[in-house]
Structure 1
Amino acid sequence: MQLTRLAVLATLLIEPAAPYPFAVGETLRYDARVGPLQAGTATARIARTASERGRPVFVITMTGTGGPPGLRGDYQMTSWVGIDRFTSRRFHRRVSVAGRVDDRRFEIVPDSLRYREEGARQAWVSPAAPLDELAMLYYLRTLPLSVGETRVLRGYFRNGYNPVTVRVTGRQNVLIGSGASVGAFAIRVTSAGTASDVWLSDDARRVPVQLELPLSFGRARLVLRAMP
């Protein structure tokens, strides 16, 4: 009986309860530009699975470095997001720009509709299916997409930034670093008056082939080097 329970636990930690268009080991490498200037690099990776409060999770990381002279920065995000239920359980974001560091860690508890920032006594209300910004990118990959469609999501874990509007603006061919042209859905994501753009490959994997993100010094465009 004990061996049976261990086997079931091992299965939960390794295999997702639902099929996803991504898996552990997927690594996406990007080159970043701000306007015409090369501005750095970024890497997104599904690093491993783990257990968070007894439930299996993906551990997803994104790191980046770059920026214009005088504003060089390093960016690190780690998301612990459920496998059986794709909701954030923990989130760490560290941004270092020109010597100034902003390091924030959040514990997110979907079952109790609460999240807490490390070092704070107060807990805040979260939506029923909370997602941090990195988990949100991967969640978009799981959605059926249709040109002209607009979705209004209320799942960002910090309620003050909801709703998040997701609009599929069209299909485009995106030239990636390898020289390949990849057909992609162009998506605009808007939250609290700030817009980001995402291009997801028009295939079953929905790979983010290009991202355009707002930064303090302008908009950065991240272009995938090669399809995984």
Structure 2
Amino acid sequence: MLLPHSGAAQDAGNAGSAPSARTAFAPVPFKVGESLEFRLQAEWFLVRGHGTASLSVDALDTLRGNPTYRLSFRTKGGITVFKINDAQRSWLDARKLFSHRFEQKLDQTGYKKERTYEFFPGEMRFVSLENPADSGTLASAIPLDDVSFIYFIRTLPLKVGDEYTAARYYKRDGNPVTVRVLRTERIMLPAGEFDAVVVKPIIRTKGLFSEGGEAEVWFSNDARHIPLRVRAKVSIATLTMELKSVTAGPPQ
């Protein structure tokens, strides 16, 4: 199946909003103020380390006249030979569920990176603010980045056996992005016991969902599709995130 242009989630998360602009928002299973806190474990051979991670919907911003969800994904921790401090943000269009901007500040053992990309779908181009030579042509008029990809997956039906694929990653060499729905499980986490659906997301890059990283994500098997657990290989270590707490956010 091709990745759809907008979500098919059960819970719009914006019901009862007064401004008329909100009536055109795509249905999504999250809302502003949602915050997910995770326990992070890093493993290298038999050596283990710990840290924290979080996913959050920080605000509803206006970017170049477009209502956007400001999303954050942060990880911090590691082991003796591998440390990571990664802060990523994405601005996801609230109407059509594509990214307008992506930022990352990464500091991990042996490697540092800062990058900011601005996406201009109407002109089919993206611009790197730190490195103009890294600017280029968008692969899609509805581009996704590493963080918006996670939230977009939450809007899909996620039925076991389904596979979604499309050239929606903003850089051409990261495509096609693929979402494979593998199985269902019941899992115990620090936040409690959950029915989960296990998904294998693939982006052809060196990030969390790289093709060779063997990443899997456990989402709650309900309308909200909350990320519960993430397991992936990053550089020399295997990272596992497990949900500790959920803040749903205020009524909207």
Both proteins in one fold, TM over 0.5: yes
1:227, 1:94 → 2: CA distance?
A: 25
TM-superposed deviation, 1:71 = 2.4
Which of 166, 184, 190 is equivalent to 2:196?
184
Which of 26, 29, 45 is equivalent to 2:34?
26
TM-score (norm 2): 0.80
Provide closer, same or farther for how the CA distance between residues 141 and 89 of structure 1 changes in structure 2, counting only shifts above 3 A: same
2:112, 2:55 → 1: CA distance?
A: 21
Q: In terms of mean alpha carbon deviation, does 92-101 or 58-67 score higher?
A: 92-101
Aligned length: 218
Query: Does structure 1 retain, via aligned residues, the 8 Å contact 2:54–2:74?
Result: yes
Question: Structure 1 residue 91 and structure 2 residue 99: aligned?
Answer: no
Q: Which residue of 2 aligns with 1:17?
A: 25
**CA displacement 1:150-191 (0-9 Å, x = unmatched):** 11121111110101121111001121113x210111011123
2:219, 2:145 → 1: CA distance?
A: 19
Q: In angstroms, what is the RMSD of aligned CA positions?
A: 1.9
Q: Which residue of 2 aligns with 1:159?
A: 172
TM-score (norm 1): 0.89
Q: Which runs of 5+ in 1 are unaligned?
A: 1-9
TM-superposed deviation, 1:101 = 2.2
- Using CA pairs under 8 Å that are at least 6 residues apart, name the structure with larger relative contact order, 1 or 2: 2
2:217, 2:224 → 1: CA distance?
A: 14
Identity rate, percent: 26
Q: Which residue of 2 aligns with 1:3?
A: none
Q: Which residue of 1 aligns with 2:3?
A: none
Which of 69, 85, 88 is equivalent to 1:74?
85
1:156, 1:12 → 2: CA distance?
A: 31
1:86, 1:134 → 2: CA distance?
A: 12
Query: Does structure 1 retain, via aligned residues, the 8 Å contact 2:90–2:145?
Result: yes
Question: Structure 1 residue 210 and structure 2 residue 229: aligned?
Answer: yes
